[in-house]
Amino acid sequence: MTEQSDTRLDGHSPLHTQVQETEEVLIKLSASDPELAATLARILGVVASEAARTPRFARALGKALIPPEPRTASRPAERPRRSRRAPGVIEPFAVFAESGETGLRSRLGELDLEQLRDIVSEHGMDHDRLAMKWKDPQRVIDRIVERVESRTAKGAAFRGRPEQSTTPHGEDGEPKVEDPPA
């Protein structure tokens, strides 16, 4: 008998342990979701059977199950924005939340054109690739305010306002019943 067959028969091989653990988990799952447990068992059976029968499938499956190597700094996962600009000197969304449009316009009015462009660049506010070419600071301020308002209001229709009610109330707090037209 070979060493490999000995480890299969003695019941202490790593594979035997994994099979037992999988069986226990499937049995546990079947108590709460028998259909899912049966489906998973069938899938595992079909995959294992096909891998045993077809060496090419077994190799492809083995390659697919190898965890990917961590990416190195030389090859980033996603391409970072290549901005040569400095970060903005103010956070326009925080200023807007704190002091509204008037406060934001006031703070932006204190900045020079390059500082305004830094904010536009940092927050991706030049969707049409025009704002960075503008020479008029007021135009750039208008763009920043417009984008901040737009992004801040995005999804507002779904947030609702709990302090407002759609049903009109009378003086006693009870819903008003409107008289039908005569």
Q: What is the distance between the alpha carbons of residues 35 and 108, in angstroms, rounded to a whole number?
A: 61
Task: Give per-residue pLDDT as tens, 38-97.
Answer: 998 999 899 889 989 999 988 988 888 888 777 665 545 555 555 688 899 999 999 999
Q: How many CA atoms lie within 13 A of 66 on its CB side?
A: 8
Question: Does 150 lie in the same domain as 114?
Answer: yes
In a domain, 179, yes or no: no
Verify that 104 and 144 share a domain, yes or no.
yes
Give the domain range for residue 122: 92-155
pTM reported for the whole predicted model: 0.45
- pLDDT tens-digit series, residues 19-40: 888 889 889 989 999 999 899 8
Closest to 119 (Cα-Cα) out of 88, 148, 143 = 88
